[in-house]
Structure 1
Amino acid sequence: MRNPSTSAAHGRRRAVLSASKIRKTKLLIAYWIQLMDVSNMLEDEKKLLEIVDMHTAGEPVRIIDARHLDLGGRNLLATRSRFQERFDYIRRSAMMEPRGHADMYGVILVRPTSPNSDAGAIFIHNSGYSSMCGHVTIALGRYLFDRGRPLSGNSFRLECPCGDVVVRREGAGGEGPSVFRNVPGRVVLEKMVASTSRNSRAEFDVAYGGAYYAVLPARELGVRFGHESLETMRSLLTEFVASARAAIDLSRFDEPQLAHLYGAILTEDGPLRSDAANRHLCWFGEGQIDRSPTGSGVTARLALAMKRGQAAAQVLYSFAGASGLEFGGRIIGQAGDEVLTEIEGLAYYTGRQTLVLERDDPLVHGFRPSESFAKF
C-alpha cells in the first residue's frame, strides 16, 4: 500500500514538473515565433546568410554552403568566375567589416564540376579569391567528415581552383588531424630581386603549392625573424610584394586566372630543420597575415628545400606561422621537377550563426575602413 505522504510528494513533484514543462514550452514557442517572424521578414528580402565558423592553427575559416546555387561551369575556375560575377556580395558581406575583418578568410562550398569529386571549394578572403588554401582544406576535412560527406572510408576528393586534392581524417572514428594530398609543388623562379625601404636588392625565389609564393629569409628584408612587430613585418612585406609583382612574369607557368604572385613567405635564416618547427610568416592577398603556417605555402617551401637538397622524402617536417601552432608536411614522392606532398593539421569549431543583411543598411555588403577613410 502506497504511503499517503509519498503519494502527495509525487503529486507535488508531477505538478512542479508539469508547470516547469509548460513554462519551457511557452518560452520555446515564443522563441520560435520570434525566429519565424525574423526569418519570414528576412527570407522575403533574401537577407539570411547561414555560416559555420572554424579555425585552423588560429586562422579563421568561415564556411558558407552554397551547393544549392546553380552555378554550372566546365571546371571550378569557371564556377568561381560565375560566382564572382553574380554573388560577390556574399563574399564581401561575410569577409569585410562589420561582419568580418581585415584578416578574415572563408570558403564557399559548391557543387563539384567533376564527377570524381565529392565537393567543390571556392576560397575567399577580405580582398578577393585564391586558387588554393591548405588551412581551409584541413578544416573542411573535419567539417565534411562530421556531416558524412566521404563516400568511402575516411577520405574524400575536394575540387579546388588549382586542381583536386584528396583529404582524409586520421585516427579512430576520424578524431585525429586532417591530412590532404596537395597538388604537385614546384620551384618556378630563383634568385629574383625586389626592393624595400630597408634593402634595395632583396633576393627571393618563387615556388608553387597551389598558389605562387615569393619565398625569402628574413635577412633579405633587413630584419631578424621575430624581432620586429607584426605590423612592421606586414608593412615591409607589403612593400616587398608590390616590388616583386612588378619584377616577375608568371604568365608562362599557368593560365591567366592562376598566374599571379599570391603572397610571400618570410622564413627564418638557415635551411629547413627536421628536429624543430620551422617558423615563417605568410603575407597574402592585399596585405593579410596568415595565422596558420599556410598549407599551400608549406608545399612551396618543401619544393624549394627538395630542389636545394635540404629535404628528404617521407620525413615529417613541422611548420609554425603567426599563431605558433604547427602543421606537418612531408614529401611523399617526386616526378621530375615536381614534388608530391601531404599536409596535416587540426581544426576546431568556433561558432555557428546567421548573418543578417538588412536592405537599408548602408554597409550591407561590407566595407574596408582604409578605403572609406581615404574618401574623406
Structure 2
Amino acid sequence: MSNPLQRLTCRDSYQRVLDVVDSHTCGQPTRVILAGHGLEAGMSPLVARDMLRDERDWVRTVSVMEPRGHRSMFSVALIHPDRPGGEFGVVFMDAAAYPDMCGHATIGTATTLLELGLVQAPTPDFTGMFEFGLQTPGGRVPLRARLETGRCKSVAFVFEGAYFLKAVDLNLPDIGAVAVDLAYAGQWYAFLPVSAARTTIDVAKIKALIAAASVVRAALAERLPDPDGRAEPIIGNIVWTDAPNHPQAQHRNVPISAAGSFDRSPCGTATCARMATLVAKGELGFGERFVKEGLVGTIYHGVARPDSAKAEQPTIVAEVEGTAWITAASTLLVDPSDPLGNGYLA
C-alpha cells in the first residue's frame, strides 16, 4: 500500500513550507525551524532577525500562531554554520516579537541539535559533559550538555549580565500597595507575590493570573514611561512568585508575557533575573545552588557567579540547567487558498 502522506510531498502545491522539530523544555514548547525560513548559512543572528522581522514575518506567525501553534508557542529559526565546525545561530520568535534571548528555547534548541546529530559529541556513545555554543541576537551563549551514551539528558546555558534594577511600590486597584522587583536577563521582568493577585499559582487559575498581570503591567507603564517614547511598556513580563511545592525548590513562579502567554517551565531568563535579584538583596550567595519550580511542577537548577565586567550596574553571571524532550518532527504547510494560512491569535 502506498503511503498516503506522499500526496503532500509535492511542495510546489504550497505557498510556504517549513521543516520543524518540536520539543518541550520542562513543559514549555520550542519549535526549531530547520529549513524554509530563507536564512543563509553563516548569517549574523542580528541580520537574520532583522530580515525575518522586516521581510519575512510570516515565518514567525506560521510557526508560532494558530492553527499550528498557540499564544505560548515559541519558535527558533536555525542558522546553519557556513564552515565545518562552525557554531549554529538562532533567531528567537514568539507571539509578540523577536526576543534577544530565551532560556528554555536555548535548552530546547541545543537538545534538538544534539539529538539530530547536527552537533556531535566526541563519540556516538559519549557519556559526560560536552561543551559548545550557540550564536544568538544577544551574543554567544556558552552551553554545557550532560550526555549519557550519546543521549542528551540536560543542558545548562550561561547568561552574562543579569542584574537587579530596583524595587518599586505600586498602588494596584482593589489591592493596594505592593512591592515589585525589577530585573533584567535578556528580557525585563517584574516579580511580585501571587497574593497580590488574590489567587495561587495553579494551572486552573491561569486566566485569573493573566488578567491580574495586565493590571500590574498597566500600572508599571504609568510608573515607568519608556524613555524612547515607544507605545510598549519597558516591563513586558510579569512574574508571579510563591513558595514552592517541589521538595528541592526554593522558589516557584509563573511569568506572563505582554502577549498574554505564560511559561509552563520555571523560565530560563526569569531564573537568571531572579538570581540577580536575590544576590542583590543578600538572599543568595555566589556559588550557592538555586532551584526554581515552574507552573507545572518542573524545576530548573541555577547558580550565580560574580561578573568580571566593569560597569556602573552590578551584574552576575547566571547558569541555568534544564531538560528538554523531542516531541515531533514535521512539515508546516501554507496552502495559498487558505485565508488563515499565515496564522492568527484568538
Unmatched runs of 5 consecutive residues or more in structure 1: 1-26, 370-376
Q: Which amino acid aligns with 1:240?
A: V
| Cα contact 2:266–2:294 (8 A) shared by 1 | yes
**2:186 is aligned with 1:210:** yes
Q: Which amino acid aligns with 1:83?
A: L
Residues 90-120 of structure 1, C-alpha deviation per residue, up to 9 Å, x if partnerless? 2111211111112212211125799996122
- Whole-Å separation in 2 of the counterparts to 1:46 and 1:87: 13
- Whole-Å separation in 1 of the counterparts to 2:226 and 2:86: 28
| Cα contact 1:55–1:350 (8 A) shared by 2 | yes
| Cα contact 1:116–1:157 (8 A) shared by 2 | no
| SS across alignment from 2:198 | coil
| SS across alignment from 1:177 | strand
**2:323 is aligned with 1:346:** yes
Greater shift in the superposed pair: 226-235 or 96-105 = 226-235
How far does residue 46 in structure 1 lie from its aligned partner after superposition? 3.5
| SS across alignment from 1:130 | coil
Higher fraction of strand: 2
**2:302 is aligned with 1:329:** yes
Judging changes above 3 Å, is the alpha-carbon distance between structure 1 residues 198 and 161 closer, same or farther for their aligned structure 2 residues?
farther
**2:9 is aligned with 1:39:** yes
* Alignment partner, residue 127 of structure 1: 96
Unmatched runs of 5 consecutive residues or more in structure 2: 123-129
**2:116 is aligned with 1:140:** no
Indicate which of 255, 265, 278 corresponds to 1:282. Answer: 255
Indicate which of 207, 210, 218 corresponds to 1:234. Answer: 210
Judging changes above 3 Å, is the alpha-carbon distance between structure 1 residues 117 and 245 closer, same or farther for their aligned structure 2 residues?
farther
**2:235 is aligned with 1:261:** yes
Indicate which of 106, 129, 135 corresponds to 1:159. Answer: 135
Q: Which amino acid aligns with 1:291?
A: R
| SS across alignment from 1:276 | coil
Greater shift in the superposed pair: 282-291 or 331-340 = 331-340
Judging changes above 3 Å, is the alpha-carbon distance between structure 1 residues 316 and 242 closer, same or farther for their aligned structure 2 residues?
same
How far does residue 150 in structure 1 lie from its aligned partner after superposition? 3.9
**How many residue pairs get matched?**
330
Q: Which amino acid aligns with 2:161?
A: P
Residues 11-62 of structure 1, C-alpha deviation per residue, up to 9 Å, x if partnerless? xxxxxxxxxxxxxxxx2xx32xx5555322x335443221111101111111
How far does residue 180 in structure 1 lie from its aligned partner after superposition? 0.8
How far does residue 218 in structure 1 lie from its aligned partner after superposition? 2.4
**2:51 is aligned with 1:92:** no
Indicate which of 291, 301, 314 corresponds to 2:274. Answer: 301
Q: Which amino acid aligns with 1:333?
A: P
**2:151 is aligned with 1:178:** no
Judging changes above 3 Å, is the alpha-carbon distance between structure 1 residues 114 and 311 closer, same or farther for their aligned structure 2 residues?
farther
Q: Which amino acid aligns with 2:22?
A: D
**Structure 2 counterparts to residues 12-91 of structure 1, below 5 A:** 27=1, 30-31=2-3, 35-40=5-10, 42-66=11-35, 69-70=38-39, 75-91=44-60
Q: Which amino acid aligns with 1:243?
A: A
TM-score, normalization by structure 1: 0.78
Judging changes above 3 Å, is the alpha-carbon distance between structure 1 residues 229 and 239 closer, same or farther for their aligned structure 2 residues?
same
Q: Give the structure with higher Rg (CA).
A: 1
| Cα contact 1:103–1:125 (8 A) shared by 2 | yes
How far does residue 265 in structure 1 lie from its aligned partner after superposition? 1.4
How far does residue 152 in structure 1 lie from its aligned partner after superposition? 7.1
Judging changes above 3 Å, is the alpha-carbon distance between structure 1 residues 351 and 174 closer, same or farther for their aligned structure 2 residues?
closer
Q: Which amino acid aligns with 1:215?
A: F
Judging changes above 3 Å, is the alpha-carbon distance between structure 1 residues 268 and 38 closer, same or farther for their aligned structure 2 residues?
closer
* Alignment partner, residue 74 of structure 2: 105
Judging changes above 3 Å, is the alpha-carbon distance between structure 1 residues 275 and 50 closer, same or farther for their aligned structure 2 residues?
closer
Residues 118-162 of structure 1, C-alpha deviation per residue, up to 9 Å, x if partnerless? 122211112222221111111112111223344775222112222
Judging changes above 3 Å, is the alpha-carbon distance between structure 1 residues 70 and 143 closer, same or farther for their aligned structure 2 residues?
closer
Judging changes above 3 Å, is the alpha-carbon distance between structure 1 residues 222 and 97 closer, same or farther for their aligned structure 2 residues?
closer
Higher fraction of helix: 1
Judging changes above 3 Å, is the alpha-carbon distance between structure 1 residues 367 and 68 closer, same or farther for their aligned structure 2 residues?
closer
